[in-house]
Amino acid sequence: MARVVVDVMLKPEILDPQGQAVQRALPRLGFDGISDVRQGKRFELEVDGPVDEAALARIHDLAESFLANTVIEDFTVRVEEVAEAVK
């Protein structure tokens, strides 16, 4: 089994009030020096079988049509190495 991670973020020009709320809370919590926070989504897909080019292409289509709304969001697809020692 392999894991593919899809990260979805609002496009830079889209206002992210949730990220702003997190950022504004930071000084109160004693975290200084963070000028901006943007909040996104991370999807972890456990893939049966090999993660070859065809599988990645299908996941790319899935991300583009469903996991992200490309009117407002950008996404990245990457294969995550699952460390054997952790298992």
Would you say 1 or 71 has its CB closer to another protein? Answer: 71
Helix, coil or strand: residue 1: coil
**Binding mask 2-21 vs another protein (x if CB under 8 A, - otherwise)?**
--------x--xxx-xx--x
Residue 2 CB partners (closer than 8 Å, separation 6+): 46, 47, 50, 51, 79, 80, 82
* 66 lines the binding site for another protein (CB under 8 A): yes
25 near another protein, judged by CB under 8 A: no
Closest approach of another protein to the CB of residue 85, in Å:
33
Determine the Cα–Cα distance for residues 4 and 53; give it in Å rounded to an integer. 12
